[in-house]
Amino acid sequence: MLNRIFIKNFALIDSLELQLHKGLQVITGETGAGKSIILGALRLIMGERADVKAIQDSATKSVVEAEFLLDDSYRPFFLKNDLDFEIHTLVRRELLPSGKSRAFINDVPVTLEVLKSLSGKLIDIHSQFESSDLFNEEYQFSIVDGLSENKSLIAEYKTAFEAFGTLKTQLQHYMLRLHEGNREADYKQFLLNELNEANLDDVDWEDLLSQLKKQENADAITENLKEIFLKLDAEQIGLLDTINEVKSRLNRIADLSHEFTLLNTRLAENIVEFKDIVFDLQNEAEKIETDPGVLERLNERVNSLNALFLKHQAATVSELIVVRDALAGEQTGMEELQQLIEATQTEIKEKERNLARLAALLAANRKKAAPIFKAKMEALLKKLGLEKARIEVELTPRPDFGRFGNENIRLLFQANSGFPLKPVETAISGGERSRVMLSIKKLMAENAELPTLILDEIDTGVSGKIAEEMGNVMREMSQNMQLVVITHLAQVAAKGDNHFKVHKEEVSGRTQSSIRPLDDLEKLQEIAQLLSGTKVTQAALEQARLLMK
């Protein structure tokens, strides 16, 4: 489980340390207090892209460290990656002012791939903005495969599918070589020389096209940027002056009525973001310059590569590299090439038979799991106030093999009786989505070996009795795993084994975010405040006591 989090010099956080425990861990705090910053730091531990802008003090590095309590089941991973296994394992990510980042496991430097591989076994973060995963085919397959215990079978199928695809690509190139077998050997050598001279291993095609497009449109970009800056800084009517005036007036309104305080805060945060965008625009504008020589060289490079794409019927630089390597190792004897083609075709048939076998096993397991998924989901949804909801898994065959087998999947949903089932992406509303996602997360948690799950405002869009039931579901989930919940709902917060509050304060003239654990009395006050708002009433306190019981 996740035992400790340490964050230093990251966004609004100067230094923060948080000790977590087993069971249901609740985190609350006002909007903008810094909850998302803590999640952003944890995502670095999960191997996500680092942004140098997150460093608060640009003179020193930013550090995010997580301590996990592990059991012996993780020892093989450490042995495989030549790492020292520790019960108290430290995973650390450092972001340097230069923009580079480093990753460590128990103080040993590791690649981001190794970091991702370990953290993916230890923690999962679900944000309220990631509910669209529900509409993704891969996610839908993962739900059903979790219930059908297809984990090892899926891994075996993916390995076989990748090998099958590689063989088919090889066969295509062998056939192309056979088709061109009547060409003279010196022409083949010419082709190979041409590809070698292109220095394909050093080509970043997307970056090359981006540079060319930027050079071609440098004047238009510069002109538009000038117009933007003119609109921003125009005397008396400039957008920046207008925004500052709006902010000043809203400040006065907020002083007169606390009901406008949240809007005032939101506006202030968005003004900071807007000014950051303007600053980035100015930086980018300074980098733009028109250089005919550079434009000519870029055009020549792109044209030469396009000519190679056309000549070799390739769509990417990677495919050109495959062609180049095939030419380099090609034997001139057509008989040997024909034998190679026949052997490859035989191997493809064998791989195809194995794929068909594995796909049939996957399909059979999914067919068994589908009604189990339906029954468990509908029972959970009923508990969460969707008494009439129906959900089903639609599995249909496909003519070829895909990454998940030889069938397609669709989740069908209907919240109301008397209406036909529809694809979940078209049939689900906001409040329903929260309940469906929580139900799915619960089912997946029951079948996964993941020790820690973080749910970020998954209860958005619900209230009252439904919020109470969602809290009960989370409480139940936490019996078998460590569940960290970020919430604004008192009904959910009251279920926590431990409660933490994120808050912002001004220290030495600078806003900083921090987090602290609440004792029982503080927890009571916080839950009452969630119920009644800024002014805590006696009725809210009584209601909070009832919820905590």
Q: What is the CATH number of domain 1-132+450-462+479-517?
A: 3.40.50.300
Q: What is the side-by-side order of every strand in the sheet holding 452-456?
A: 123-127, 452-456, 482-486, 24-28, 498-507, 510-517
Alpha-carbon distance of 386 to 397, in angstroms, equals: 31
Q: Residue 381 pLDDT more than 70?
A: yes
Q: Is 87 helix (H, G, I), strand (E, B) or coil?
A: coil
Q: Is 205 helix (H, G, I), strand (E, B) or coil?
A: helix
What is the mean predicted confidence (pLDDT) over 162-184?
Answer: 83
Alpha-carbon distance of 511 to 97, in angstroms, equals: 21
The answer for residues whose C-beta is within 8 angstroms of residue 168's C-beta and 6 or more apart is 348
Quote the pLDDT of residue 484: 93
Helices 430-447 + 464-477 axis angle, to 10: 10
Provide the percentage of residues in the chain whose pLDDT is more than 90.
36
Quote the pLDDT of residue 344: 92
Alpha-carbon distance of 108 to 47, in angstroms, equals: 16
Total H helices, total E strands in the chain: 19, 15
For residue range 101-133, list pLDDT tens digits in order.
999 999 999 999 999 999 988 998 887 655 566
For residue range 17-69, list pLDDT tens digits in order.
999 999 999 999 888 788 888 888 899 999 888 888 888 888 899 999 999 99
Alpha-carbon distance of 82 to 89, in angstroms, equals: 14
- 103 contacts 110 by C-beta, under 8 angstroms: yes
Three-state secondary structure string covering 156-172: HHHHHHHHHHHHHHHHH
Quote the pLDDT of residue 128: 62
DSSP-derived letter for residue 84 is -
The answer for residues whose C-beta is within 8 angstroms of residue 27's C-beta and 6 or more apart is 35, 38, 484, 485, 486, 487, 499, 500, 501, 502, 515
Quote the pLDDT of residue 331: 46
Q: 232 φ, ψ to 5°? A: -75, -40
DSSP-derived letter for residue 49 is P
Q: How confident is the model at residue 252 (pLDDT cuts 50, 70, 90)?
A: confident
Q: Residue 387 pLDDT more than 50?
A: yes
Lowest mean pLDDT among 231-235, 358-362, 364-368: 231-235
Q: What are the tokens at 16? A: 């923060």
Q: Which amino acid is at 380?
A: L
What is the mean predicted confidence (pLDDT) over 190-200?
Answer: 85
What is the mean predicted confidence (pLDDT) over 364-375?
Answer: 93
Q: Residue 527 pLDDT more than 60?
A: yes
Tell me the CA distances in angstroms from 180 to 184, 185, 421, one per residue in order. 9, 10, 54
81 vs 135, which has greater pLDDT? 81
Q: What pairs with residue 104 in β-bridges?
A: 92, 109
Q: What are the tokens at 194? A: 């041409």
Q: Residue 158 pLDDT more than 50?
A: yes
311 vs 6, which has greater pLDDT? 6
The CATH 3.40.50.300 portion of the chain extends over 1-132+450-462+479-517
Quote the pLDDT of residue 333: 58
- Give the mean pLDDT of the chain: 86
333 vs 71, which has greater pLDDT? 71
Q: How confident is the model at residue 181 (pLDDT cuts 50, 70, 90)?
A: low
Q: Residue 182 pLDDT more than 60?
A: no
Q: Residue 326 pLDDT more than 90?
A: no
When mean pLDDT is compared over 183-192, 402-411, 438-447, the highest value belongs to 402-411
Burial class (CB in 10 A: 0-12, 13-18, 19+), 315: exposed
Alpha-carbon distance of 174 to 179, in angstroms, equals: 9
What is the mean predicted confidence (pLDDT) over 462-481?
Answer: 87
- 56 contacts 43 by C-beta, under 8 angstroms: no
Q: How confident is the model at residue 434 (pLDDT cuts 50, 70, 90)?
A: confident
Alpha-carbon dihedral sign for residues 445, 446, 448, 450: positive
Helix (H) or strand (E) holding 45: helix 35-45
Q: What radius of gyration do the chain's Cα atoms show? A: 29
What is the mean predicted confidence (pLDDT) over 281-304?
Answer: 77
Taking the chain, what is the end-to-end CA distance rounded to the nearest angstrom? 26
Q: Residue 332 pLDDT more than 70?
A: no
When mean pLDDT is compared over 220-224, 338-342, 365-369, 383-387, the highest value belongs to 365-369
